[in-house]
Structure 1
């Protein structure tokens, strides 16, 4: 055994292996969560946008993404080097802390995957699948990778220079995906029938199943970020559970008070909102802080999902209302509820730390949100003007499952929405099946 291998802790490694698998499971969970929220004519397209993100982001991450995000800083805290491009120099005995570097790289890869997949919810029902295939790798390289370096990479300016805290991804995952989703929603414009037609979830049991898988995977997401089987992981695990619960209850409280009906969709959305908010703060706040963070997210996000109707942007599946708003809440509240027992020294406003940490969190939120929005908007506009990002109107009206993938999720789901399917919209293989 090499000297490097002797530095590997088997307990920490075993936990991070499990956590990595849990986080990867979150993307199929997200696919079900999103798939249940759309109408029957676009279910498979929604699933595919998540699943293909696994493959696309993996290729980008292994070739250059990991090295640029976690390599040695080369440009004032903005980006890493290409020393480990293609995972070169990282053998089985290479160690990051107490775990194999290859495992750490894979764990971080699963974060990048779900962040890209999250964006798809903002443009559900109306994006060209081919354009999405181009967007994901470009976005991962130009948006996610730099932000990951800022927040977690060696020498990254958010952590090392600014001193803002983010334990498990409020900035690189939640705020980045939410701001990017808003940018793409503006590039593509609203769905046909937005604010006119009912666009209700077609399968609420699928939504709840997806939310449950997300919650399950989130324990790996947050507790795994401790990078060890230790007390910090246990605290992050409990905080994650607590915030998901209060997020769910907060959302249902608003629905009951506002609408008179606590809904299944609201319960699933509230849990996710609480989990989003606790992501950056699970390693910084006490259990009491976690309960408040989750409750605040459940209440505020339940109102935020309605902003799209007043401000006229069509965020189809509420990526902005849940992930952007929830991420902002959780990241900022670190500056209020952080306790030194969790952070190792930093304290929030309520524990005698003053306004300094809150100010640092605010700067990080503004910088990351602005960067993600502006770069994503530029990428989206470029793709739209060259390849076209918006699906054809006829395809959108018929449904992307049939027109793009030549499949339908349900035998009865093709003709259940809108006008009859035109001959030109049906792929030849489907015509034969229909005639038969």
Structure 2
């Protein structure tokens, strides 16, 4: 279908926008002014590295289950065909590329303000190859050996396990291995530009329609393709919207109760929490289920972010509290609210009945098992990579660099050179 291919090209562009500029702005505004360029660069370089690796061998690892030297030499720029996908293979390859890119970039928020750029550049290809690509095969590949999708049978519409739990666990491990920022938590490390963060959150929300609505799954037993397309795009669009709105309310209510004020940062974080939670469930639940999932995610993610101070976890930009917790909430609650489509009617929905819809506990157990596999895989792989980097090239910049500004130390630039006297720290100053 030419129209379907055009739709998927637009969806791909929207998801590509989620990393740059959306995530870069969202994270950049949340850091201190002396770290904003470094934070944004971590997203940009993740896009460049992971994108190339995806074309070289990542795509083949995920959708064929194969890898190694043979894949490396035979896969690049060849025929990216996938039977039954319904549109151009190159479009499908690029759409899935955007998922790999943003998953890796998400992790950077957990280690803001204190990491060598070179260490991040080494981490990105290792983690994408050893954690994201294999887990994406478990979730999206759906071949006979796909552990989460096929063998366990857990539902994950657009990446609650492979994307958000995967990145959230990685962020947790890195925050523990790298350690706290100098002065945290005694020193208040407030976002330097919430306007950027709010803009980034808005762009993420828009881009997320490509993320969820683009993750169409056609079932030959449920009506014809055109009817499914109309129904499923409408369902996932509605669920994505309603869940996000509910999460904003949930987050702001908790903020008001716990701290006496509802903040713009809370609203932006609520947006992301709702989007994260509905990602795995977007095509499996009805609008009522989506609203409950969003509300629960907003509440629990807000509470989880507060607990990082009690546990002494310097998760700088709340990757664990939002992506890990939100991903678990959305994935598990499919087991409660999943509503399958009606065979032959074109009405789409989940692949099993949830507990609240008469399906018993089986679906809930499957979802929990999928979550546990994702946590274990990401945790073990990330720990090995993180420790290898720590004891070789090292993660941390010097104490002087961290206090003085990681932007200047790692990139020779400053985000806000507003007068000629600051040229020494800018690109122009370096060129001179």
User: What TM-score do the two structures reach when normalised by structure 2?
Assistant: 0.90
1:42: which partner in 2? 35
Following the alignment from structure 1 to structure 2, what is the Cα–Cα distance between the partners of residues 49 and 18?
25
Deviation at 1:367, TM superposition (A): 1.1
Deviation string 1:98-119 (CA, Å, 9 cap, x unpaired) is 1111111110010000000000
Give the SS at the match of 1:226. Answer: coil
2:313: which partner in 1? 313
Following the alignment from structure 1 to structure 2, what is the Cα–Cα distance between the partners of residues 46 and 411?
17
Give the SS at the match of 2:279. Answer: helix
- 1:357 lines up with 2:349 in the alignment: no
1:420: which partner in 2? none
Q: After the TM superposition, which residues 412-423 of structure 1 pair with which residues of structure 2 at under 5 Å, given as runs?
A: none
Runs of 4+ in 1 over 4 A off after TM superposition: 79-86, 92-96, 412-416, 426-433
- 1:16 lines up with 2:4 in the alignment: no
Following the alignment from structure 1 to structure 2, what is the Cα–Cα distance between the partners of residues 387 and 413?
36
**How many residues of Structure 1 are paired with residues of Structure 2 in the alignment?**
412
Deviation at 1:343, TM superposition (A): 3.6
Aligned match of 1:202 in 180, 192, 195?
192
- 1:70 lines up with 2:60 in the alignment: no
Deviation at 1:137, TM superposition (A): 0.6
Deviation at 1:363, TM superposition (A): 0.8
Question: Judging changes above 3 Å, is the alpha-carbon distance between structure 1 residues 61 and 88 closer, same or farther for their aligned structure 2 residues?
Answer: closer
Deviation at 1:80, TM superposition (A): 9.8
1:160: which partner in 2? 150
Following the alignment from structure 2 to structure 1, what is the Cα–Cα distance between the partners of residues 287 and 123?
39
Deviation string 1:273-328 (CA, Å, 9 cap, x unpaired) is 00000000001000000000000000010010022111111100000000000000
Following the alignment from structure 1 to structure 2, what is the Cα–Cα distance between the partners of residues 99 and 186?
43
Following the alignment from structure 1 to structure 2, what is the Cα–Cα distance between the partners of residues 185 and 107?
30
2:52: which partner in 1? 59
Deviation at 1:59, TM superposition (A): 1.3
Structure 1 residues not aligned, in runs of 5+: 1-8, 417-422
Question: Judging changes above 3 Å, is the alpha-carbon distance between structure 1 residues 298 and 428 closer, same or farther for their aligned structure 2 residues?
Answer: closer
1:170: which partner in 2? 160
Deviation at 1:86, TM superposition (A): 5.4
Question: Judging changes above 3 Å, is the alpha-carbon distance between structure 1 residues 196 and 145 closer, same or farther for their aligned structure 2 residues?
Answer: same
2:407: which partner in 1? 401
1:327: which partner in 2? 327
Give the SS at the match of 1:236. Answer: helix
Deviation at 1:264, TM superposition (A): 0.3
Q: Conserved in 1, the CA contact under 8 Å of 2:148 and 2:373?
A: no
Question: Judging changes above 3 Å, is the alpha-carbon distance between structure 1 residues 387 and 315 closer, same or farther for their aligned structure 2 residues?
Answer: same
Following the alignment from structure 2 to structure 1, what is the Cα–Cα distance between the partners of residues 380 and 263?
35
Following the alignment from structure 1 to structure 2, what is the Cα–Cα distance between the partners of residues 281 and 52?
30
Q: Conserved in 1, the CA contact under 8 Å of 2:55 and 2:76?
A: no
Question: Judging changes above 3 Å, is the alpha-carbon distance between structure 1 residues 129 and 413 closer, same or farther for their aligned structure 2 residues?
Answer: farther
Q: Conserved in 2, the CA contact under 8 Å of 1:96 and 1:104?
A: no
2:127: which partner in 1? 139
Question: Judging changes above 3 Å, is the alpha-carbon distance between structure 1 residues 344 and 85 closer, same or farther for their aligned structure 2 residues?
Answer: farther
Deviation at 1:234, TM superposition (A): 1.7
Deviation string 1:253-285 (CA, Å, 9 cap, x unpaired) is 111122121100000000110000000000100
Give the SS at the match of 2:391. Answer: helix
Deviation at 1:230, TM superposition (A): 3.1
Q: Conserved in 1, the CA contact under 8 Å of 2:56 and 2:77?
A: no
Following the alignment from structure 2 to structure 1, what is the Cα–Cα distance between the partners of residues 386 and 412?
26
Deviation string 1:128-147 (CA, Å, 9 cap, x unpaired) is 00011110011000000000
Deviation at 1:91, TM superposition (A): 3.4
Deviation at 1:227, TM superposition (A): 6.0
Q: Conserved in 2, the CA contact under 8 Å of 1:12 and 1:227?
A: no
Deviation at 1:405, TM superposition (A): 0.8
Deviation string 1:3-24 (CA, Å, 9 cap, x unpaired) is xxxxxx1121111100000000
Give the SS at the match of 2:90. Answer: helix
Deviation at 1:96, TM superposition (A): 4.7
Q: Conserved in 2, the CA contact under 8 Å of 1:62 and 1:85?
A: no
Question: Judging changes above 3 Å, is the alpha-carbon distance between structure 1 residues 339 and 413 closer, same or farther for their aligned structure 2 residues?
Answer: farther
1:6: which partner in 2? none
1:419: which partner in 2? none
- 1:215 lines up with 2:205 in the alignment: yes
Question: Judging changes above 3 Å, is the alpha-carbon distance between structure 1 residues 138 and 299 closer, same or farther for their aligned structure 2 residues?
Answer: same
Q: Conserved in 2, the CA contact under 8 Å of 1:170 and 1:277?
A: yes
Deviation string 1:162-183 (CA, Å, 9 cap, x unpaired) is 1100000000100000000001
Q: Conserved in 1, the CA contact under 8 Å of 2:305 and 2:321?
A: yes
2:176: which partner in 1? 186
Question: Judging changes above 3 Å, is the alpha-carbon distance between structure 1 residues 216 and 80 closer, same or farther for their aligned structure 2 residues?
Answer: farther
CA-based RMSD of the aligned residues comes to: 2.4
Q: Conserved in 2, the CA contact under 8 Å of 1:58 and 1:109?
A: yes
Aligned match of 2:215 in 221, 225, 236?
225
Q: Conserved in 2, the CA contact under 8 Å of 1:68 and 1:149?
A: yes
Following the alignment from structure 2 to structure 1, what is the Cα–Cα distance between the partners of residues 48 and 370?
30
